[in-house]
Amino acid sequence: MNRFLVAANALLLSGAVLAQDTAVSPPQVTQAQQEALRDATSGSVRNIQNVMRDAYRNPEHTLAFFGVTPEQTVIEVWPGGGWYTEILAPLLHDDGKLIAAHFDPESDVAFFRRSRSEFEAKLADAPELYGKVELATLNYDPELPITEPGTADRVLTFRNVHNWLSAGEDQAGQMFGKFYAALKPGGMLGVVEHRARAGTSMEQMIKTGYVTETKVRELAEAAGFELVSVSPVNQNVQDSTDHPEGVWTLPPTLRLGDKDRARYLAIGESDRMTLLFIKPE
């Protein structure tokens, strides 16, 4: 059993670490809900290249930690090519709702427009699976909400915070404000992000893609969230975070190409924090 599965199993056996500054207990999924998560992550509809990343991203146990269940309304933030969409769409298909808050289709950034278009094509190619997914736009416009305020049970963001910081701390703060507005009272925000060493400067965070847990907490708490718990499920103790091209040195990007490729493949994907916040009742 690899170190990632060990961490995940330890999490399930011992429970997440409860934040010291809140009395809210981490959500618990039932056995039936856990089985639904397992079915969704093991579904044949998933791209095999995506499945190969499970050893590093631990989707079943990550979603269980976030308390995601089949009847919820879940917002997936900036889903990119749909790595998590392939899991969330079937999980929520019958009794819940998945809102994919993707890039702005009218963005000035060509990559954003292309990514949104490719994601829309992915959904259109499998209407039996993705036909109920609701597409929304998430950009830096403070006047444009993700969805009707106070309607979501969960907002989930995977490896996005560094992008918002690159656009400016104010813009990053606006994103967390939008998440807060979209959630019901008692709704929760799940964050997975590349983890920088404590004390890393903002300049280095932007340059490397690694963000400190302190900075993520600052952004979330400034928006009104309270930290519920933290999980080791996506940690990677092999990752020093000190790489020539930052987080993009590691797989799946491997920005250095063949240079030291075996070394970086052996490290695996980045060390990541996994944090759960709540919008207070």
Q: Where are the domains of the chain?
A: 3-278
> Contact 76/154 with Cβ under 8 angstroms?
no
List, as one string, the DSSP characters of the chain: --HHHHHHHHHHHH-PEEPTT--PPPP---HHHHHHHHHHHT-TTS-HHHHTTHHHH-HHHHHHHTT--TTSEEEEES-TTTTTHHHHHHHHTTTSEEEEEE--TT-S-HHHHHHHHHHHHHHHH-HHHHTTPEEEE--S-TT--SSSTT-EEEEEEES-HHHHHHH-HHHHHHHHHHHHHHEEEEEEEEEEEEBPPTT--HHHHHHHS-B-HHHHHHHHHHTT-EEEEEE-TT--TT--S--TTGGGGSTTT-TTTTTTHHHHHHH-SPPEEEEEEE---
pLDDT of residue 143: 92
Q: How confident is the prediction along the chain (281 residues), in pLDDT tens digits per residue?
A: 344 444 444 444 334 666 666 668 899 999 999 999 999 999 888 999 999 999 999 999 999 999 999 999 999 999 999 999 999 999 999 999 999 999 999 999 999 999 999 999 999 999 999 999 999 999 999 999 999 999 999 999 999 999 999 999 999 999 999 999 999 999 999 999 999 999 999 999 999 999 999 999 999 999 999 999 999 999 999 999 999 999 999 999 999 999 999 999 999 999 999 999 999 99
Lookup: tokens for 11: 């999490």
Beta bridge partners of 157: 77, 191
**Tokens 């856990």 belong to which residue?**
34
> Contact 63/87 with Cβ under 8 angstroms?
yes
> Contact 119/100 with Cβ under 8 angstroms?
yes
3-278: CATH topology is Rossmann fold (3.40.50)
pLDDT of residue 14: 36
pLDDT of residue 7: 42
pLDDT of residue 24: 85
Beta bridge partners of 272: 194
Pairing of strands 17-18, 226-231: antiparallel
Lookup: tokens for 79: 């889903």
Name the pTM for this structure: 0.93
Cβ-based burial of 61 (10 A; exposed 0-12, middle 13-18, buried ≥19): buried
> Contact 231/274 with Cβ under 8 angstroms?
yes
Cα Rg, the chain, nearest whole Å: 18
The Cα 115–Cα 208 span in angstroms is: 22
Lookup: tokens for 184: 């019901």
